[in-house]
Amino acid sequence: MKVRVLGCSGAIAKDCRTTSFLIDSDILIDAGTGVGDLTLDEMCAVNHVFLTHSHLDHVAALPLMVDAVASQRTEALKIYALAGTIAALKAHIFNNVIWPDFSVIPSTAAPFISFHEIAMGQTICVVGKNIEALPAVHTVPAVGYSVSAGGPCWVFTGDTERNPAFWRRLEQLDVAMLVIETAFSNREKELARRSLHLSPATLASELDLIDEQHKFPIFITHTKPFETELIMGEIAQFDEVLPGGSFPHDIRWLNAGQLFEV
């Protein structure tokens, strides 16, 4: 299974694209501005989109991608999300005001998109992948995802604050790599708390919930462009501030354009 990082920034700027991951060639996890780096042929190949939540940085490219390739599609693009996320998309994006309602265009019998409600804890099997909706704690209904092609899982937290239920489930999975958000630096930790995101301080406390025998690389995503260097610097200091001076986890920074084999 290949995982291509299309976007992993918490906001836009030159060379900063918001959250989206391409699984092999036909599944998107989130549809932020990173989708814009796909060619038209690559967009046409996507048949399934799994959304973590409704915030713009995770859905911004979805209506534009549908519009770009709709005339070339032979079946509806399937969009999987929580009921609250689907309701938000219908009310605020595909509402014939911000964007056409492609769930009934060109007809209700043969639309360009179809919505498929999922529940937290549910596993959806599509094109040889098992995709499980994992717990997330955010300001709107949200999930993370684990994705497996029969072997170890690629795991993405989505946007979340402290989340014990997520770590309990993670301990039961065979994890190949974990992608976890850390949106704000410690100087913005109060804003992170209020907006239900992680900062390095809360990230450290969350990672303490992982059994030390459960080893896998951890990739940091969703950093704000102005704060990325500060955030990664604060994470690099974990060894210095923890008792014993030995942080047990392999932490790396995620970059758009990276390709992983899982």
pLDDT, tens digit (0-9, with 9 covering 90-100), for 171-224: 999 999 999 999 999 999 999 999 999 999 999 999 988 887 788 999 999 999
CATH number of the domain enclosing 223: 3.60.15.10
- Digit-coded pLDDT (tens) for 91-100: 999 999 999 9
Is the pLDDT score of 155 beyond 60? Answer: yes
Contacts of 19 (CB under 8 A, 6+ apart): 7, 8, 9, 30, 32, 34, 52, 57, 58, 221, 222
Q: How far apart are CA 47 and CA 221, in angstroms?
A: 25
Two structure tokens written together for 119: 């529940």
Backbone Cα Rg of the chain: 18
222: nearest Cα among 185, 249, 193, 189? 185
Instruction: Please state, in angstroms and rounded to a whole number, the distance separating the CA atoms of residues 98 and 213.
Output: 49
Domain count, the chain: 1
CB 157 within 8 A of CB 145: no
Cβ atoms of 10 and 57 within 8 Å: the answer is yes
Q: Residue 246 above 60 pLDDT?
A: no
Residue 226 domain boundaries: 2-261
The confidence score (pLDDT) of residue 238 equals 78
CA distances from 254 to 18, 58, 91, 146, 239 (A): 12, 16, 33, 17, 20
State yes or no: pLDDT of 239 exceeds 70: no
Q: Which residues pair with 155 in a beta bridge?
A: 146, 178
Average pLDDT, the chain: 94
> Which pLDDT belongs to residue 230?
95
Angle CA 24–25–26, to nearest 5: 105
Reported pTM: 0.95
- Which one, of 24, 255, 211, 56, lies nearest residue 129 by Cα? 24
Read off the pLDDT of each residue in 232-242 and give the average, rounded to a whole number: 74
**Residue whose C-alpha is closest to residue 196's, from 169, 166, 226:** 166
The whole-angstrom separation of Cα 214 and Cα 132 is 20
| Pair 202, 179: CB distance under 8 Å | no
